[in-house]
Amino acid sequence: QTWEIYACVRQVLDVLDPIDEPLPESILQQRNLITEDEALRAVHLAENTADREGAQARLTFDEAVGLQWALVGRRYSELSESGPVAEPVNNGLLAAMRDQLPFELTNGQKEVLEVLSAELSASRPMNRMLQGEVGSGKTIVSVLAMLQMVDAGYQCALLAPTEVLAAQHARSIRDVLGPLAMAGQLGGADSATRVALLTGSMSAQQKREVRDEVAAGEAGIVIGTHALLQEAVEFKNLGMVVVDEQHRFGVEQRDRLRAKAPDGLTPHLLVMTATPIPRTVALTFYGDLETSTLRELPRGRQPITTNAIFVKEKPAWLQRAWQRIIEEVGAGRQAYVVASRIDESDKPAKDEQGPPPTTVVTLFEQLRRGHLSGLRLGLMHGRLPSDEKDAVMAEFRAGQIDVLVCTTVIEVGVDVPNATVMVVVDADRFGISQLHQLRGRIGRGQHPSLCLLATQLPEGSKAGQRLKAVAGTLDGFKLADLDLKERKEGDVLGLSQSGRPVTLRFLSLAEHLNIIVAAREFCEALYEKDPENAGMVVLSAPFID
């Protein structure tokens, strides 16, 4: 019975000694907080709303302080480490690359590069997150930063979450560098380096050749998946680590890669994300990183029109979507059709509503025999062997496939400027930020683009309103805030895999920005005076890796 549990709790608390207060008296007075002992007792035994709210306010602040102390401590410990100094030179790869760029950098890109260049020139390691809208030009910024390191004699590692993205990075970086990436080859520039690619699906012989190239220092830029983390991979002089789509990797993984640097040096770190991060999340789960943001899209990028299609209410709209794809292909363009599952073996989410979603395998067959029977269709999903995925993507890029029927394997980094239409089937199965990421695969060329979000659920449903929100704005930062309010704290941006223990019981990332900012300021001020503070050690213990 509840009253029996209450009586037992009261009996225990009556004989329990008072708990030591971890926070200074000054902050309790400043924020009008009760003591830790009072809060822990009141949260169990409060007899009125005021006492209960007082306990919750104190315990919320405790969580914010504990998390911030852990992050501030990590940042301060990194500041005491030595980083590789790489001052820019006048006649190196970086200068040559800037001279041959086929486009002008945006003002935002130039500003971020100035910050990066200054930090790469310093004697302590850079720890910076670069976030930007889909298509805002983060990759070229990272390439120019890496060239500054290569000019100084260091190697750079670019870690990507999928083989598709790693291969695309290697291809696009080699293309943009041209002769500057052809060291030792006919036509290579005098100051050229090499760009190496290492993935898990390579043959043993291929891996060995790449590892030898990296160990000898012949490859200045080394791109790879988790394969880069293996012990067998050794760098001659690693000076910088770039992590793309960083929320796919944990802190431990990026630290393992940084540990491959020469003794006594901590490589510079640049983590990139095209998933805009709300300020509360940046302050909490990525609070050990400085942040730069790219909001401006490169010149010539076309806006994307987005519409939600409620199939049961307006079935003709879905027929029109297929017709629109046929029209775009007839005009020489290409399209994506995205499904949420590969096949029937994929388990549904616990909170799914509506009829079972159409799998990508079924959808491919339906479209091939039905609405899009006259077009060249390709199938792409995560369970295909790597060589098949590479072959399909190569055909799509070359224009040999008109419509790519796929899963979210194309969510990150895939760049085919000729693709102008995307139809997302069962769009209600995707989160807000994920839909924004998917939409970013189109609108990358010179032609207007269209994204259609189809669902079997009614317009008035929660999912329907979510799709209308995505259709209503192209502002990823606004959508990230909406996403934060919708999702469970531990699920935000895959934080359960971020390398941070997720143990928030009172602190809400969606509601407590002011508390998080206050806790940050308090921790930074106290850490400078007393980095070993006993009370802070207690509060931060749940958040230490």
Predicted local distance difference test score (pLDDT) of residue 134: 72
pLDDT score for 492? 41
Place of tokens 């060329």: 445
First to last CA, the chain: 38
Long-range contacts of 25-33 (CB under 8 A, 24+ apart): 27/522, 31/61, 31/518, 33/57, 33/58, 33/61
With H, G, I as helix, E, B as strand and everything else as coil, classify residue 9.
Answer: helix
* Angstrom distances, CA of residue 376 to CA of 326, 344, 369, 405: 11, 25, 11, 11
* Half-sphere exposure (Cβ direction) of 434: Cα atoms closer than 13 Å: 20
- The mean pLDDT of 82-102, rounded to a whole number, is 93
Residue 272 per-residue DSSP state: E
Average pLDDT, the chain: 89
Instruction: Provide the 3-class DSSP secondary structure of residue 530.
Output: coil
Cα–Cα dist 84/123, whole Å = 6
Single-letter amino acid code for the residue at 537? V
Q: pLDDT value at position 493?
A: 36
Rounded distance, CA 259 to CA 192, Å?
A: 26
Of the pLDDT bands very low, low, confident and very high (cuts 50, 70, 90), residue 103 is confident
pLDDT confidence bin for 495, thresholds 50/70/90 = very low
Per-residue pLDDT tens digits for 459-482: 999 999 999 999 999 888 888 888
User: 97: Cβ–Cβ under 8 A, 6 or more apart, which residues?
Assistant: 143, 144, 147, 176, 177, 180
Residue by residue, DSSP assigns 180-236 as GGBTTSTT--TT--BEEEE-TTS-HHHHHHHHHHHHTT--SEEEESGGGGSTT---S
* pTM (predicted TM-score): 0.80
**pLDDT score, position 520:** 94
Give yes or no for a contact between 355 and 456, defined as CB atoms under 8 angstroms apart: yes
The alpha carbon of residue 378 and the mean position of all alpha carbons in its chain are separated, in whole angstroms, by: 27
Would you say residue 350 has pLDDT above 90? Answer: no
Strands 127-132 and 290-294: parallel
Percent of the chain at pLDDT exceeding 70:
93
pLDDT digits (tens, 9 = 90+) for 52-85: 999 999 999 999 999 999 989 988 888 788 999 9
Do 146 and 240 meet the contact criterion of CB atoms below 8 Å apart? yes
SS3 100: helix
Other beta carbons within 10 angstroms of residue 448's beta carbon come to 12
% of residues, the chain, pLDDT over 90: 63
What domains are defined for the chain?
Answer: 2-80+512-543 (no CATH), 93-294 (3.40.50.300), 304-473 (3.40.50.300)
Burial 371-381 (b: 16+ CB within 10 A, else e): bbeebebbbbb
Q: Tokens 């401006």 label which residue?
A: 296
Q: Which residue is associated with the tokens 């291929």?
A: 206
Find the radius of gyration of the CA atoms of the chain. 26
Residue 284 has pLDDT above 80, yes or no: no
**Cα dist. 69→17, 511, 519, 532, 538 in Å?**
27, 20, 8, 11, 10
Q: Measure the CA dihedral 533/534/538/539, to 10°.
A: -30
Average pLDDT over residues 225-248: 91
Nearest to 255 by CA among 125, 418, 368, 356: 125
pLDDT tens-digit map of 357-399: 999 999 999 999 999 999 999 999 988 988 898 899 999 999 9
